[in-house]
Structure 1
Amino acid sequence: MNVVAFVSIFFAGLLAGAEYAVRCGVRRPLAVLADQQHIELRQALIRSLRIAVPAVYVPTLATAMAATVGNAGGRGFDFQCAGMAALLLWTVTTFAGTVPINAGVLAWSAGAPPHGWQAVIRRWERLDNVRTWAAAAAFACFLGGAARLASG
């Protein structure tokens, strides 16, 4: 396994870990807060994570693409392609789904949330489930590709 493939696995693991932490470590505590505190904390998380997640996602995508292209047709290439497909799913779900919702949430007044705001949050959570599983699948696929390459 080359250095680029190793780095791509490292960043894919960070991305999967970040998604897992939000899914399993943040969402449940948010749900028990009063409406205003829920929205205030959610807005703070969006402001923080809209910097932190791209800082992990961009190198994940760049190094995974480079490792996959560099291994075209080689051992583990099928796993790498599956990992790239999972990253594509994460990307589409993020940019077409959660990013627009997050932008809208940032415009909310925490003291006077819009009517139906809970439905918006439920939609975000469904999309976040997709993102979490896609990131985990990408990580697993890149690990599988590395294992196949190493067994060669």
Structure 2
Amino acid sequence: MAALSNEVKAFIVQALACFDTPAQVATSVREEFGIEVSRQQCESHDPTKSAGRDLAKRWRILFEDTRKRFREETSEIPIANRAFRLRALGRMAEKAESMKNMALTAQLLEQAAKEVGDVYVNRQTKNENPHDNVPPTRVQVDVVDARKPDAVT
């Protein structure tokens, strides 16, 4: 395992905090710094994994600060905005339709409908009675004899 400079360690910690996989981070380190690091070595810089449980406090703080900032700034990323995605889907659907690709057009329209219908949104509803969302544990079935309209067996 290669000894890493603080600059490389900071790069790894920040990339992991932005939800890059250890494999992606290893590739980025190779491209950025010309250093070969393994996925396992990258993962050891992620305090949310068991491999990173002994990570120094300064790297944990950097990780937590970077992740917090990353989550807050997600709204600034265009593809995270519903209107941006719908406009892109609209352009793709128009192009697919002009190319007479009706199957792709239908798929894009369905995806847009799901986007508008909040299929891709993770929201939890709060019910006044928490037992409303519990599936039934027992179901009673009455068998009716079709020959005798009033008979239940």
Same fold (TM over 0.5): no
Q: TM-score, normalised by structure 1?
A: 0.32
User: TM-score scaled by structure 2?
Assistant: 0.31
For the pair shown, which has the larger CA radius of gyration, 1 or 2?
A: 2
Give the number of the structure whose residues are more often helix, by fraction. Answer: 1
